[in-house]
Structure 1
Amino acid sequence: MNAVEQAAMARARELGERVLGTTSPNPPVGAVVLDADGAVAGEGATSPVGGPHAEVHALTQAGERARGGTAVVTLEPCAHTGRTGPCADALLAAGVRRVVVAVPEPTALAVGGAARLRAAGVDVELGADQQAAEDGALAGWLTGVREHRPQVVWKVATTLDGRVAAADSTSRWITGPQARAEVHRLRATCDAVLVGSGTVLADDPQLTVRDAEGRTALRQPLRVVLDRRGRVPATARVHDDAAATHLSRAADPAALLTELFDRGVRRLLLEGGPTLAAAFLAAGLVDEVVLHQAPLLLGDGAPMVGGLGIDTITSALHLTITDVTRLGGDVQIRLRPTRHTGGPTTGGGS
């Protein structure tokens, strides 16, 4: 992969990020088509289910300039016919001479695109900047392929001393407006938002995506409430008509994730309180943490996470910081638990 193709791959990853939360259960892929001189001729990202894939959008935009050019794609072009035709065939019809792929197709259903292209004389490079693509927009879909569950992103807002609520249970506006706006952007990238019944009873959140002016977005993630004892009243705001809501009585986090996976959820935002967070962490089912920390001290009140059954420092749950960003007067820290992830690879997108 040369420098021009590397820049195109970075752009393809960005395009995939832009459609996070809109493509499930299909993967959010980005694609860039370079003409024969290496100039950008077209770009695209996966449409919602039933619409064109990223490669088709990019080829349509490129038109005749695609002939003799290069397609740069975050996921290997599919070779099967589902709701749309094979992207490998679309690339061949457009006359591209080279295809650069970040992530080889991991599913038995859609694999074969690279082989089909090579058989037709197209130069194919697999595994270009693969890790960056796997850690980006494709992370949730890949978790589904490998572990048959949604990717779980735990978002939590705390004071400097790790409190999510004061001793009198007040918790509203721990962080400032920029951090709160970032939460809405984060929700928009997810297929579903999860809280427990305790959070609903304490805060009565609406769990919707709103813009900077407070307007409700057109596309809303599924609202999920874990309510094993049927405590959530019919008057709770999660029952309004702003978005769909799913009440679950699943026995544990793993069962809940299976339930949501079967509904097409591939990226789940966990916004529940300390008890629910602890349950997911203890089960090893948190893939990413988005921590918003405000420059406040309470000294008492609800902790950010409940008991994890850890009684010595050597057993502590280790996390790796992947990004630190200032949000007004607050700080956003992104982390990933240090643990093995993996499992059988079956199934795939459609």
Structure 2
Amino acid sequence: MASVPTGDAMRRAISLAARGLGTTSPNPVVGCVLLDTAGEIVGEGFHAYAGGPHAEVVALAQAGERARGGTAVVTLEPCDHTGRTGPCSAALVHAGVRRVVIAVADPDPVAAGGADTLRAAGVEVVFGPYAAEAEAGNIVWLTAVRRQRPYLVWKYAATLDGRSAAADGTSMWITSEAARSDVHALRGAVDAVLVGVGTVLADDPRLTVRDIGDGSLAVRQPLRVVVDSAGRTPTDARVRDAAATTWIATTAAVGSGPDGRVDLARLLTELYRRGVRSALLEGGPRLAGAFLAAGLVDRVVGYLAPRLLGAGPAALEDAGVGTIAEAIDLELADAERVGPDLKIVAYPRQRED
């Protein structure tokens, strides 16, 4: 077998890491490739689920003695702490690995320090190859840890003229079954789903993950969060059923902002403390506007149906924009057909002061 360049090994590690998306939270996704002294791949692995073996441990188990004197190529700095598993830095040292190539440094102060431990043991450590690609693959977790709040995705559905409901308030269904199935996949990849109490009172949603997979595997249900300043969520609301855990976030529990409503920044901080690293904001237009005005939205996913209403509620209400110069600019990342609908993914641009 021919030797593998380090860059090719890192690209492979990044693709391995992606296999853990949606199942590792509150941990990151990580991929690892082990090369022997001749540069041949002798082990590879990824972190599959929280509490399970880390990518480096999986790869070392495959490699066995062939890892001794070799190189570990890993997408994230090996952890240096003992949690539900032991430190990967120690495992690499014990296996006799002589060189470790790392794409991205670990920003978590609890787990960071692996590179220093490796160097102290005489292991060569190299940072940087394919850092941008590795960062993009782990952007949700990295953003959450760096900001100490969940990575927030705002999802909305609207007609082409931007209406989220008809003039009489009816909104089921604006988009197609294909789009709704895609939304369930989005829910299945996050730790929490957020709505305002207005959405609960108007639509009585369940906010659970359904209609994904073939039913052979258990679906991880995200935490359901109702932003409900005054505690108006009915006792018989479907979000209170036993299908998933629910938190009714009131001002009494979270704290209030200047407007007397739930302080949204504090809400996200509390969710992070509870282990939430990613959240999907599903409704309604007033709550979405408040999150956008506060600069707390990291990604926008819009489903546009090829329909026109001409009247009815808009998909977004006051977002703190008073003039065109204050518009929230988005960077368009993707656009694709989902059934008859158009799915758009975009990222708010950072405003320059």
> TM (normalized to structure 2)?
0.87
Deviates more, 1:127-136 or 1:152-161: 127-136
Q: Secondary structure at the match of 2:141?
A: helix
Q: Is the 8 A contact 2:75 2:103 kept in 1?
A: yes
Question: Following the alignment from structure 1 to structure 2, what is the Cα–Cα distance between the partners of residues 82 and 227?
Answer: 35
Cα gap change, 1:285 to 1:109, in 2 (>3 Å):
same
Q: Is the 8 A contact 1:36 1:69 kept in 2?
A: yes
Q: Paired residue for 2:155?
A: 155
Q: Paired residue for 1:136?
A: 137
Q: Paired residue for 1:345?
A: none
Question: Following the alignment from structure 1 to structure 2, what is the Cα–Cα distance between the partners of residues 281 and 213?
Answer: 32
Question: Following the alignment from structure 2 to structure 1, what is the Cα–Cα distance between the partners of residues 57 and 42?
Answer: 13
The residue type paired with residue 333 of structure 1 is I
Cα gap change, 1:15 to 1:240, in 2 (>3 Å):
farther
Query: What is the CA distance between 1:39 and its match in structure 2?
Result: 4.6
CA root-mean-square deviation: 2.5
Question: Following the alignment from structure 1 to structure 2, what is the Cα–Cα distance between the partners of residues 266 and 319?
Answer: 23
Query: What is the CA distance between 1:99 and its match in structure 2?
Result: 2.0
Question: Following the alignment from structure 1 to structure 2, what is the Cα–Cα distance between the partners of residues 94 and 195?
Answer: 48
Q: Paired residue for 1:344?
A: none
Q: Secondary structure at the match of 2:74?
A: strand
Question: Following the alignment from structure 2 to structure 1, what is the Cα–Cα distance between the partners of residues 153 and 169?
Answer: 24
**Which structure is richer in relative contact order (CA contacts within 8 A, separation 6 or more)?**
1
Q: Is the 8 A contact 1:322 1:336 kept in 2?
A: yes
Give the alignment of 1:174-323 within 5 angstroms.
174-212=174-212, 217-250=218-251, 251-323=262-334
Q: Paired residue for 1:165?
A: 165
Give the alignment of 1:113-124 within 5 angstroms.
113-124=114-125
Query: What is the CA distance between 1:263 and its match in structure 2?
Result: 0.9
Q: Residue by residue, what CA displacement relative to the aligned partner does 1:9-31 show, whole Å, maximum 9, x if unpaired?
A: 33433443333343333222222
Q: Is the 8 A contact 1:197 1:232 kept in 2?
A: yes
The residue type paired with residue 61 of structure 1 is Q
Identical pairs, percent: 59
Q: Residue by residue, what CA displacement relative to the aligned partner does 1:217-250 show, whole Å, maximum 9, x if unpaired?
A: 4311111111122222122211111111111114
Query: What is the CA distance between 1:3 and its match in structure 2?
Result: 7.6
Question: Following the alignment from structure 1 to structure 2, what is the Cα–Cα distance between the partners of residues 190 and 248?
Answer: 18
Q: Paired residue for 1:335?
A: 346
Q: Secondary structure at the match of 1:271?
A: strand
Q: Is the 8 A contact 2:185 2:212 kept in 1?
A: no
Q: Is the 8 A contact 1:30 1:46 kept in 2?
A: yes
Question: Following the alignment from structure 1 to structure 2, what is the Cα–Cα distance between the partners of residues 213 and 143?
Answer: 28
Deviates more, 1:114-123 or 1:287-296: 114-123
Which 5+ residue runs of structure 2 have no aligned equivalent? 252-261
Q: Is the 8 A contact 2:188 2:219 kept in 1?
A: no
Query: What is the CA distance between 1:184 and its match in structure 2?
Result: 1.6
Question: Following the alignment from structure 1 to structure 2, what is the Cα–Cα distance between the partners of residues 201 and 39?
Answer: 60
Cα gap change, 1:178 to 1:26, in 2 (>3 Å):
same
Larger Rg: 2
The residue type paired with residue 328 of structure 1 is G
How many positions carry a matched residue from both structures?
Answer: 339
